């Protein structure tokens, strides 16, 4: 059975992993006959948001613990993950990738990706194993692999597209149900809620992404 790493970044679209995108990824991995291996950095969230109000709170939460809600407790720190034991990696979107996995939300084009996240992404790349990224998550994927001229899609946000180009990434426009395939770098991306509008719409693109990622794995 193929094992697909799923890199989570909390729980909730405003301060962690987008739950719909995460659960759909897990669903389609399972339907494809593969096993999801969930992981997250062991860190304090950059901020915590009261989702009904859309306001930040003084509450402190841990990314690993919050991501464990999505994974039903079956989650591990990314520092404990051995890439040799996995066949591919998928990164759901939400604010988590740009607030917790990187400083993109704060610094824009001058952002940095967390060192442990960068090392994880580069380890999959070096091993020739495919990586999928959803919604805004392609930004951190492209940054970590900027030396390799990655090609991704993130929807139609002009500022984000310009930022991608500023560090050498190419952008390919795709509809919500489409995927961008970078064969040379083994990358697959889909815009999901960067385009929306609803869960049924994003599900189509995410299923295509999961199917494509698995088809690109070795063996």
Residue 194 DSSP one-character state: G
Name 42's Cβ contacts closer than 8 Å, sequence gap at least 6: 62, 63, 64, 77, 78, 79
pLDDT in tens, 51-108: 999 889 999 999 999 999 999 999 999 999 999 999 999 999 999 999 999 999 999 9
Per DSSP (E only), the strands in 61-134 are: 75-77, 88-91, 131-134
pLDDT at 202: 98
Q: Residues 112-124: what's their mean pLDDT?
A: 98
Encoded tokens for 83: 């890439």
In the predicted model, what is the mean pLDDT of the chain?
A: 97
Grouping H, G, I as helix, E, B as strand and the rest as coil, residue 71 is coil
Q: Which residue numbers are catalytic?
A: 135
CB atoms within 10 A of CB 107: 11
Confidence of residue 41 (pLDDT cuts 50, 70, 90): very high
Grouping H, G, I as helix, E, B as strand and the rest as coil, residue 124 is helix
pLDDT in tens, 171-191: 999 999 999 999 999 999 999
pLDDT at 219: 76
Name 82's Cβ contacts closer than 8 Å, sequence gap at least 6: none
Instruction: Determine the Cα–Cα distance for residues 96 and 108; give it in Å rounded to an integer.
Output: 15
What is the phi-psi region of residue 155: left when phi exceeds 0, alpha when psi lies from -120 to 50, beta otherwise?
Answer: left
pLDDT in tens, 145-154: 999 999 999 9
CB atoms within 10 A of CB 55: 9
CA end-to-end span of the chain: 10
Phi, psi torsion values for 36, nearest 5 degrees: -85, 135
201: pLDDT strictly greater than 90? yes
What the chain holds in terms of domains, given with CATH numbers, is 3-215 (3.40.50.880)
pLDDT at 188: 98
User: Within 13 A of 190's CA, how many CA atoms are on the CB side?
Assistant: 27
Percent of the chain with pLDDT over 70: 100
């Amino acid at each position: 059975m193929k094992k697909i790493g799923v890199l989570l970044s909390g729980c909730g679209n405003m301060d962690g992993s987008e739950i719909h995108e995460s659960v759909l990824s897990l669903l389609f991995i399972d339907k494809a006959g593969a096993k999801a291996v969930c992981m997250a950095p062991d860190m304090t969230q950059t901020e915590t948001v009261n989702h009904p109000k859309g306001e930040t709170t003084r509450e402190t939460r841990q990314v690993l613990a919050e991501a464990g809600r999505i994974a039903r407790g079956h989650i591990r720190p990314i520092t404990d993950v051995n890439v040799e034991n996995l066949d591919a990696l998928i990164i759901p979107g939400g604010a988590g990738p740009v607030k917790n996995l990187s400083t993109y939300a704060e610094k824009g084009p001058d952002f940095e990706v967390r060192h442990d996240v960068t090392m994880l992404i580069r380890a999959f790349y070096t091993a020739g194993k495919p990586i999928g990224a959803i919604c805004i998550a392609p930004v951190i994927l492209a940054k970590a692999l900027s030396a390799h001229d990655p090609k991704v899609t993130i929807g139609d946000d002009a500022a984000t597209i310009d930022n991608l180009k500023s560090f050498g990434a190419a952008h390919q426009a795709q509809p919500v149900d489409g995927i961008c395939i970078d064969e040379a770098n083994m990358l697959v991306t889909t815009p999901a809620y960067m385009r929306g509008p609803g869960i049924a719409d994003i599900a189509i693109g995410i299923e295509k992404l999961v199917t494509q990622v698995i088809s690109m794995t070795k063996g």
